[in-house]
Amino acid sequence: MTLAYETVSENRSFGGVQGVYRHQSQATGTPMTFAVYLPPQAQHGKVPVLWYLSGLTCTHENAMTKAGAQEWAAEFGIALIFPDTSPRGDGVANDDAYDLGQGAGFYVDATQEPWAPHFKMWHYITHELPELVFGNFPLDRDAQGITGHSMGGHGALTIAMTFPQRYKSVSAFAPIAHPSESDWGRKQFTAYLGEDKAAWAAHDATLLMRERGYPGEILIDQGASDQFLHLLKPEALAHAMAERRQPGTIRMQEGYDHSYFFVQTFIPDHIRWHAERL
């Protein structure tokens, strides 16, 4: 596996450095862009890592510029990693709908045509990109947390429950909590993974919660005025957590919607949450 990458940009931010980088991915067979924020503490040694997975239509840039996370990452001495949400470019399958194809990888490894050649986002996020960033940046591999918004919250929860020894902390903003029973899930899982619902279960946070749970606490914030609540299905995950006696908190935030104004408001709580556990 190549660890080579190129620097797209680097900017000073809250005493640290916000960088954007590009590399040739073996997992997707395409160039992939990602962002890393290194807090000022990284000048003196390895720092904990918080992965932030973004939602539908997003690139690495959305959370990097809209979440307001760098100030709090600098305060708590945590690095932030913002991956892209899918492969992109000429020759990469796409769809006219915003919720399938480029910008909508759903953090799975596609097995169906025309998606299978490039849509390997599970492998990319859990294997290839970690090897690259830990091989090139002053990051503590033993202190990783993961979070995300919407489709990215789905990815964060499913990845953390699959690799609980790797991710010491997990949180989510308005995650797609039960995709097997939502139009944000059934459509994409059928396209990427086929009709066999057994293959879907490994990527459904509610089903994973029922099956295995997570060894630590979980923090989830959900806007009570979210226009996509009927697609997110937080009540299904809440019920599964209650059945399992899963330690954690789901907070319904009155008046908040699905936007990055919601994320900006609660990102300090989430970074503090991860800092306490990392």
Q: Check: CB of residue 144 under 8 Å from CB of residue 124.
A: no
The amino acid at 2:
T
Strand runs labelled E in the chain: 6-13, 16-24, 31-38, 47-53, 79-83, 139-148, 167-173, 218-223, 248-253
Measured CA to CA, the distance from residue 158 to residue 165 in angstroms comes to 13
Q: Check: CB of residue 193 under 8 Å from CB of residue 111.
A: yes
Q: Which residues pair with 118 in a beta bridge?
A: none
Looking up tokens 């991956």 gives 83
Plot region of 91 (φ>0 → left; ψ -120 to 50 → alpha; else → beta): left
CA-to-CA dists, residue 231 to 85, 103, 195, angstroms: 19, 18, 20
262 sits in which H/E element: helix 260-277
Residue 92, Cβ neighbours under 10 Å: how many? 18
Looking up tokens 């399938």 gives 100
Catalytic residue among 118, 258, 270, 274: 258
Active-site residue flag, 258 = yes
Active-site residue flag, 109 = no
| Alpha helix positions (H), 112-259 | 121-123, 129-136, 151-162, 186-193, 197-200, 205-211, 229-232, 234-244
Measured CA to CA, the distance from residue 263 to residue 1 in angstroms comes to 35
Catalytic residue among 150, 169, 171, 182: 150
Active-site residue flag, 150 = yes
Catalytic residue among 84, 109, 204, 226: 226
Q: Check: CB of residue 22 under 8 Å from CB of residue 31.
A: yes
Catalytic residues: 150, 226, 258
